[in-house]
A and B are shown apart, each in its own frame.
Chain A
Amino acid sequence: MKRFLLARTGQAALVLLVMSFVIYSLIGLMPGDPIDIMIASNPGATPEVVAHLRAIYGLDQPIVLRYAHWLFAALHGDFGYSRTHSQPVMVVLLPALWQTCKLMLTSFILSVALAFLLGVLAALKPGGILDAIVSLFAFAGISVPVFWLALVFILIFAVTLHALPASGISTVGDGGFVDQARHLILPVTTLALANTGQFTRFVRAAMIETLRMDHVRTARAKGAGEGRIVLIHALRNAMIPVVTVMALSFGGLFSGALITETMFAQPGMGKMIYDAILGNDFNLALTGLLFATLVTLISNLLADLAYGWLDPRISL
């Protein structure tokens, strides 16, 4: 186990190093640079000013040298300065991360709980009315575009009913727990519905397959109750493929809620990374993407550990 963890940590470090160089180079390959964005429609930007600004921002150096400077500083805990926020990277990243944690963890927990409930119920009687309703719900969740769902929720709950705030993270002058929770309801519901459909399909499929296995039939023959059969004998075995999907999704949550964050004006990681890439903000984009990579690696590692717990036959 110790050797496994050490090997995976080493792999993760290597992946992060390679990713950092690849991301830095890819951002550098994009057309234009931060100064082009800065001087657009700027009457005072003479060629001399442009040249000087490029030197100040270090953009007159080759990209490999710039990356080496960044890597050296990052290894010493300095992730640089965000050009698009005019603040140190960590000052920008940490509040965005906190906002993402609130949004994503809540929606993830909600969607996993819903998916297990609906997936198991649907699997108990495949082809039945409940299964049809759950499948309809799941397909709707998968196929409805998130931006459309977000707009519909805003129009119903904010514009028509005036029951919930349409956007933002808190009301100016309030900002208490209840106020923040009210601001989270619509984005969390939107994200949860979108994720629930996908997770439900996986849980349902895995449960149907497991419920047909010999050990379940044997349990039934031994007179075990249906609740025990489902929860103890079937669900645990059905979780292995589901855990894989959820682990991968969990990593993506920290970089992938761009649309929801944009629609509900939630300043989280997805929007921060997107804006940083568009604004050629190397330091912020790189640190944000590396963080998302790290979370994906960790969640995959946790999934591997979970396999061993779920199925003792799997050794690490």
Chain B
Amino acid sequence: MRYSIAAAALAAACWAGAAQAQHDTLSIGIAQFPSSLQPDIDAEVVRSYAMGFVIRQITAFGPDWKNSCLLCAELPTLDNGLVKIEDRPDGKKGMAVTIKLKPDLEWGDGVPVTAKDIAFTWKLGSDPASGFSNPNPWNRASSVDVVDDHTAVMHLTRVRADYNQWDQILPEHIEGPVVAKAAGAGDYLTGTVYNRAPLTPGLYDGPYMITGYDSGAQIVMEPNPHWAGTKPGFKRIVLKHIENTAALQANLLSGDVDMVAGEGIGLTIDQVLALQKQHPDAFHYEFRPSLAFEHIDLKKENPLLADVRVRRALLMAMDRQTMVEKLFHGTQKVATTWVNPLNPYYDPSIPVVNFDLAGAQALLKEAGWNPGADGICTNAAGARLSFELGTTAGNRLRELQEQVLQSNLKNACVEITLKNEPARTLFGETLKKRLYTGMEMYAWGSNVTESPLRTLGSSQIPTVANNYGGSNYIAFSDPKMDADIDVAETELDPAKQKLVWADMQKIYAEQLPVLPLFFRSEAHVTPTWLRGYQPTGQGDLSSYWAENWHPA
């Protein structure tokens, strides 16, 4: 009997060992491929995802949407004394933020990660000639003091709420010579070692490093021998680019890929729902609410939309709850404003506008719109309540949403004509130059505690004068909102922050400059044997904690 138990235990151990060996490589399917491996040149989700395995930010928002240290030893705050308000030479208030790096950090070639790397990255990121598409993390500081190998003090030009959010740092011993050689603006972009020689181990300070790279095809990563954190669970991680999502599904079923990245760079949510229905036990499925806010922009200058009662009636006539239940099996949450309920500044007291067809019809009547012979409302001047609704052509889900909303609004005597355009036309011309006439449906994303400056700040309205910069495509302009945004960007007291965010949500819900639809969910498909995988639903992606992933 004893021998039997021992034999069974041995067999089980062997089996477990075999299973472990079988899963020493994790192959991940991605439908997009990064255009660059340099972490700061392009703000692509797929680039962030890929680089999340190999290079770490100083801080990141975790799956709980709370900011935490990845490279730093302690999150800088006013309470722990690592942040101080200081007087600046111009008489204004600034901040001194002390970043203490973990003591055992090393690049993939064994060179220590030091505060000099922070100073180098700050200098590069602050220089407009470097071509960083998002210099904001670094040009917030006007100077950096390197205190010792592990400590740097960043001097911020003003008091700001995002003082303890810091991006990844670059290796001075690798990228320094490139920067020194760069003669003109943009030379760094073409010279960076991340793109010229991506297999250089010294570029990476994360748990994995890139050991194979075929542009447009695949990225191979293996454990970084100088990583001091949790030992990575795989001998190899492969990111395999399969652009066609039907082929990506087939690859998943054939076992050519083990999982699909869920952060909007793999399968669409309807494909994952169909896969779950057909193969419920083959994979682990998780639908993680995200910050992507699906909504309809309303043209400010359209006289039919000038009356807030009309805008409210449009929202009341849309049966958004049924739409998300039928199209997405209830995996996406109906939105009240742009602030996700998972956001710490979400105000639950803002009333949800529920579907109320009778209420919508009454409100339209009150605004002077009465149904005509063909069922479409007209006003006393004879104008028809008719709008063009556009979205990204070829996006099957959005086209389905359009049809549902068109039908909903017709019931409330509103005529909707669909006018879709390719994504590059919609974003490159129609929205940017504000050429749309009625409604445009799309999604925008934001960081966890990012203020709505980009989308609601009056300084961010795209115009000829600012070369169509900014993303306030609805031309929303409200002095109270601008003032609130300013406070949201600078207020350090969380209680006051919450108040000002509540006020912004109230303004938004009252004025309805856009019609909120729902928050998209990320659809994650992972192998049943994968452990330690935690999707986040926001800009700091699951791969930032990839060292915790391991086979069962």
Contact = CB atoms under 8 A, between A and B. Distances in A.
Interface in B410-433: 424-425, 427-429, 432
B450 A172 contact: no
B217 A169 contact: yes
Chain A interface residue number, banded: 35 or more
B247 A168 contact: no
B241 interface: yes
B470 A167 contact: no
Interface in B116-137: 128-129, 131-137
B456 to A, nearest CB: 13
Interface string B386-422: 0000000000000000000000000000000000000
Contact of A45 (B131, B134, B190, B241): B134
Contacts of B192: 86
A61 interface: no
A43 B445 CA distance: 9
A85 B466 CA distance: 29
A200 B346 CA distance: 66
A86 B35 contact: yes
A308 B444 CA distance: 62
Interface string B518-546: 00000000000000000000000000000
B216 interface: yes
B215 interface: yes
Interface string A30-69: 1111001111111111111111111111000000000000
B136 A43 contact: yes
A108 interface: no
Interface residues of B, number: 65
B428 A151 contact: no
Contacts of A275: 216
Given A162-B254, A166-B254, A172 B218 contact: yes
B9 interface: no
A189 interface: no
Given A41-B444, A48-B469, A159-B250, A265 B185 contact: no
Interface stretch (B36-44, B105-113, B509-517): B36-44
Contact of B250 (A57, A155, A172, A173): A155
A83 B38 CA distance: 12
B240 interface: yes
A275 B217 CA distance: 13
Given A54-B467, A86-B38, A86-B41, A168 B133 contact: no
B35 A52 contact: no
A55 B184 CA distance: 12
Contact of A272 (B216, B246, B469): B216
Contacts of A84: 35
Interface in A163-192: 165-169, 172-173
Contacts of B432: 32, 36
B243 A265 contact: yes
A87 B215 CA distance: 9
Given A47-B466, A85-B216, A267-B217, A167 B246 contact: no
A264 interface: yes
Given A45-B133, A262-B247, A267-B216, A159 B428 contact: no
A289 interface: no
B143 interface: no
B253 interface: yes
B247 A172 contact: no
A272 to B, nearest CB: 7
B250 A166 contact: yes
A210 to B, nearest CB: 42
Contact of B185 (A56, A154, A158, A264): A56
Given A37-B424, A56-B129, A86-B36, A44 B137 contact: yes
A87 B195 contact: yes
A47 B458 CA distance: 13
Nearest to B188: A56
Nearest to B184: A56
A52 B128 contact: yes
A39 B424 contact: no
A267 B42 contact: no
A32 B467 contact: no
Given A86-B37, A167-B242, A41 B247 contact: no
Interface in B444-478: 444-447, 450, 454, 466-470
B215 A51 contact: no
Nearest to A37: B424
Contacts of B41: 86
Nearest to B40: A44
A57 B41 CA distance: 12
B135 A43 contact: no
Nearest to A155: B250
A92 B196 CA distance: 12
B276 interface: no
Given A36-B427, A158-B250, A167 B133 contact: no
Contacts of B137: 44
Nearest to A272: B216
A51 B470 CA distance: 11
Given A36-B427, A50-B469, A264-B247, A44 B216 contact: no
B217 A154 contact: no
Closest 4 CB pairs of A and B: A32-B428, A47-B469, A44-B134, A44-B136
20 contacts: A31-B429, A36-B432, A41-B444, A43-B134, A43-B136, A45-B469, A51-B469, A52-B128, A86-B192, A147-B244, A147-B246, A154-B251, A172-B220, A262-B243, A263-B247, A264-B247, A265-B217, A267-B217, A271-B216, A271-B243
